[in-house]
Amino acid sequence: MSRIGNNPVSIPEAVTVEVSEGTVTVKGKLGELTQEFSGVAIKVEEGNVVLERPSDSKEHKAKHGLYRALIANMIDGVSKGWTKELELVGVGYRASNQGQKLDLALGFSHNIVLDIAPEVKIETVSEKGKNPIVKLTSHDKQLVGQVAAKIRSFRKPEPYKGKGVKFVGEQLRRKAGKSA
């Protein structure tokens, strides 16, 4: 059984946490995030955020750990930020960006142009002899993950040659080809 909800979340000096009726607001140097909550009591005391559940029912236990993790991610996001890196593996696969528009060449008959949310900073790195890399940075962990998953969904890595869009450091399950 997980007891993650019992751990207090420490608040760095540059971050402020406000709890009002059913919402938590976290402000920091990188931005501001809000989260609605129910089923738990959230208190800010002595530089820590403490969550308490009213009972040991299954629903209250689940929400206890969930909201503790969400608040910890919000505090990390507004103080340090979140980054995801995607690697384009394949001959002729390219990525470029102009502002918030990401242009991907993934072997289809046309390029894919994707408008990225303004909260997410995007950067493309193309070095000769290496696979192109797309870096996504934001203070909102959910938004970075959602945008990265959307980009990955255009061409998921296939198991035989490993071609496609994958996360940097991701281990792919490879299959053996047909034996002659």
pLDDT in tens, the chain (180 residues): 468 888 999 999 989 999 998 899 999 999 999 999 998 999 999 889 999 999 989 999 999 999 999 999 999 999 999 999 999 999 999 999 999 999 999 999 999 999 999 999 999 999 999 999 999 999 999 999 999 999 999 999 999 999 999 999 999 999 998 886
What are the start-end ranges of the H helices in the chain?
58-79, 141-153
DSSP-assigned beta bridge partners for residue 102: 97, 114
User: What are the φ and ψ backbone dihedral angles of 70, each rounded to 5 degrees?
Assistant: -65, -40
Closest to 145 in 3D by CA, of 136, 154, 153, 132: 136
Looking at residue 123, its pLDDT comes to 95
pLDDT value for 110: 95
**Residue 1 has what pLDDT?**
47
Which of helix, strand or coil describes residue 74?
helix
- Which H/E stretch holds residue 84? strand 82-89
- What is the CA angle 48-119-154, rounded to 5? 115
What pLDDT sits at residue 2?
Answer: 64
Single pTM value for the model: 0.89
DSSP-derived secondary structure for 97-111: EETTEEEEE-SSSS-
Determine the pLDDT at residue 179.
81
